[in-house]
Amino acid sequence: MKRIMSILLVLAVMAGALTGCGGSGSDPKAPNKGTPAATPAPTPEPTPEPYEPNVLTGYEKNLDYPEGQRITAVMVNNITTCRPQRGLSDAQILFEIKVEGGITRFMAVFNDYNKIPDIGPIRSARDQFFQLVLPFQPLYAHIGQSVVQKQYIADYDYDEWNLEGGFDGKLFYRNRNRVNWAGKGVDTEHTAYMSGERIADYVARHEVDDRRSYNSTFFDFVDYRDPAYIPEGKFLEDGVSPAADRVTIRHSASYRTRFDYDDTLGQYKMGQFYSSKGSYMDTIDENNGKQLSFDNLIILFTDIHTYPGHEVKDLQEVVYNWGGVGYYCYGGKIERIRWEKGTPLEALRLVTFDTQEPLEINCGTSYVTVVDQDEIPGFKWEADESKVETSEAPIEETFQESED
């Protein structure tokens, strides 16, 4: 028994000695070569913020953006006796197109109908405007409509979103103070106004489906996280300056729109020609006394003529399905572009002049006009405002300002 205990004691001492020597006679401070070195975990790439642009301006959506709401388009009068209008300075996009008699009309487009201020005078609908917004299925507010537009509403089953003041008188009110306002002799038909509150009431009472999710913006916008794109005068005539500090658009003999670029504001300020005065005057929003101004100017040319069979009313047909030439102005610069539209259900596309690749315009508010190609000679841009005369000779007014 003592012999066995002695053997066990010797074995225990030897095991302790081997453990204290590291088991191999090596330096106990040396690393254990049998254990691989730990690999540092890779730094994860930051997840980029999702691209969530405002449908009408391209800016990043903020907390006030009405997610899931249809955009709203409102038709506004532009005969000279109805100026100044109300509510146009709040629009994200403003369209101006010639209608009957050589006059122009506006369509103001908004993200959120709840925030539309007092707006008007409201006028009747025309298909040349409706076709531009139809692909986005907006609420379309107006009073009255041409026979052609009425057919469009029927063909595209658009009654629910066709907010027609002639159908529901609560959608608008008459500003009686406008009748013979300032001695101008304004007819009652030019005194109707709407507001976001009235539109919201209409939507609620008629249970209008005002929900729509958009997976694309109205234009292809420059990513709001990227620098702005400055037009470089591409495809202008040789020797022509791309500087566009003043841009003048002639719609007809008596209707012209002019923009002056404000360097401090970084926007184009709008004015309109008055035949009776022989000069331009600032386009003011009567709600706030503010001159209308825009980040982007988009001028599109095409064939505009009277609809066959509608010569008495002089209803104007704007040819969209062929596309055409246009111009894009931003930051006091201009370049030549092309545009495409196709069928009424196809969205307006701006493309580069040479390759017809999508043209990205800068984020912001936009003025868009579609002009008869016969008026191309009256379109001009200037590099220096001081080189342009401040007034023009009066032009005889040959149109009838009172409309049906």
Letter string b/e over residues 188-221, b meaning 16 or more CB atoms within 10 A of that residue's CB = ebbbbbbbbebbeebbeeeebebeeebeebbbeb
Give me 33's structure tokens.
């070569």
Specify whether the CB–CB gap between 61 and 52 falls below 8 A. yes
Q: What is the pLDDT of residue 180?
A: 63
Q: In angstroms, rounded to a whole number, what is the distance separating the alpha carbons of residues 101 and 90?
A: 28
* Tens-digit pLDDT string for the chain (404 aa): 444 444 444 444 344 444 444 444 445 455 555 566 667 777 777 777 899 999 999 999 999 999 999 999 999 999 998 999 999 999 999 999 999 999 999 999 999 999 999 999 999 999 999 999 999 999 999 999 999 999 999 999 999 999 999 999 999 999 888 776 555 667 777 899 999 999 999 999 999 999 999 999 999 999 999 999 999 999 998 889 999 999 999 999 999 999 999 999 999 999 999 998 999 999 999 999 999 999 999 999 999 999 999 999 999 999 999 999 999 999 999 999 999 999 999 999 999 999 999 999 999 999 999 999 999 999 999 996 554 454 444 443 333 444 44
Coil, helix or strand at residue 336: strand
**Residue 184 amino acid letter:** K
Q: How far is CA 78 from the centre of its chain?
A: 20
Q: In angstroms, rounded to a whole number, what is the distance separating the alpha carbons of residues 14 and 34?
A: 24
